[in-house]
């Protein structure tokens, strides 16, 4: 269903072919400041998104009823909005449709999933990242479903990395299960979203600690671990891959 993480640099044609062998590049001097490079526990690109300045949009299904699958197609659906960042946004099926809850521009595309299964998505507690009335949240799926919500954006993935500051109980310190990973966390007041993608492989335990101890959030959600895709033109990062699942887009207000 998924391929290993890859990155194509705009000035290196060969990277499109060999990108899966390469770590995501470091940020150049003079980038726009939306994202920064954090060097612990592994080099990670951390993007800080204040919601009073930027809007987040989920791009999963186009007007033709088909998944966008690429950053290029997802941008076409944003009606000329200035896109500052794009990142993969959670698990997907073979046809690139979301596995779990997906709300795009206030429209429910897919109901939340609670059933048992295999893989990271089903490592409970899993969770939901959503934006409602201008505030961002990361919640356990069970809690989300026990409440009443009308989000403008929502994506379900798993596992949760942090729940109220506690590391997921199934994570193992020192685990050798390491992949390039990306995830999302939110500030306590819900006004700032933190998107992170590691440049090098990391295990779940250390990735959770990164969000708790370095980013300083109490709730964070894993998005993906083998297919991490990042488009950040202000930092010279331009990964153009085919057949993506749901995509998060950050646009200027």
Which H helix or E strand runs over 74? helix 71-76
pLDDT band at 76 (very low <50, low <70, confident <90, very high): confident
pLDDT tens digits for range 161-185: 999 999 999 999 999 999 999 999 9
**Mean pLDDT for the stretch of residues 42-49:** 96
In a domain, 1, yes or no: no
Highest-pLDDT range among 7-21, 118-132, 227-241: 118-132
- Of the chain, the end-to-end C-alpha distance in Å amounts to 35
Residue of 247, 232, 246, 242 whose CA lies nearest to 25: 232
The dihedrals phi and psi of 72, each to the nearest 5 degrees, come to: -60, -45
Task: Give the pLDDT score at 178.
Answer: 96
In a domain, 96, yes or no: yes
In a domain, 142, yes or no: yes
pTM for the whole structure: 0.88
pLDDT tens digits for range 110-134: 999 987 777 888 889 999 999 999 9
Which H helix or E strand runs over 142? helix 141-146
State the residue range of the domain holding 47: 15-252
The count of domains in the chain is 1
Task: Give the pLDDT score at 90.
Answer: 87
In a domain, 134, yes or no: yes
In a domain, 232, yes or no: yes
In a domain, 8, yes or no: no
Task: Give the pLDDT score at 207.
Answer: 98
**Mean pLDDT for the stretch of residues 2-23:** 35
Give strand ranges (E) for 14-104.
35-38, 44-50, 54-59, 83-88, 102-104
Task: Give the pLDDT score at 11.
Answer: 31
In a domain, 6, yes or no: no
In a domain, 7, yes or no: no
Asked whether 86 and 245 are in contact (CB, 8 A), the reply is: no
């Amino acid at each position: 269903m998924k391929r290993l993480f890859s990155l194509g640099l705009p000035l290196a044609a060969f990277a499109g072919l060999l990108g899966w062998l390469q770590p995501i590049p470091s940020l150049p001097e003079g980038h726009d400041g939306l994202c920064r490079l954090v060097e612990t526990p592994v080099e990670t690109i951390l993007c800080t998104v204040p919601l009073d300045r930027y809007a987040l949009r989920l791009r999963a299904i186009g007007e033709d009823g088909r998944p966008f699958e690429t950053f290029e197609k997802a941008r076409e659906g944003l009606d000329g909005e200035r896109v500052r960042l794009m990142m993969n946004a959670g698990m997907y099926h073979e046809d690139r449709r979301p596995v779990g809850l997906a709300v795009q521009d206030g429209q429910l595309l897919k109901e939340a999933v609670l059933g048992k299964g295999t893989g990271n998505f089903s490592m409970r507690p899993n969770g939901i990242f959503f934006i409602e009335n201008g505030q961002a949240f990361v919640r356990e799926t069970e809690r989300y479903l026990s409440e009443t919500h009308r989000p403008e954006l929502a994506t379900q993935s798993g596992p949760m990395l942090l729940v109220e500051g506690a590391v997921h109980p199934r994570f193992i310190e020192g685990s050798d299960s390491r992949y390039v990973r990306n995830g999302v966390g939110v500030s306590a007041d819900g006004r700032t979203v933190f998107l992170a993608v590691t440049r090098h492989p990391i295990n779940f335990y250390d990735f959770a600690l990164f969000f708790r101890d370095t980013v300083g959030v109490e709730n964070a959600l894993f998005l993906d671990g083998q297919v991490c895709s990042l488009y950040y033109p202000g930092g010279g990062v331009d990964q153009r891959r085919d057949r993506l699942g749901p995509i998060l887009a950050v646009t200027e207000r």
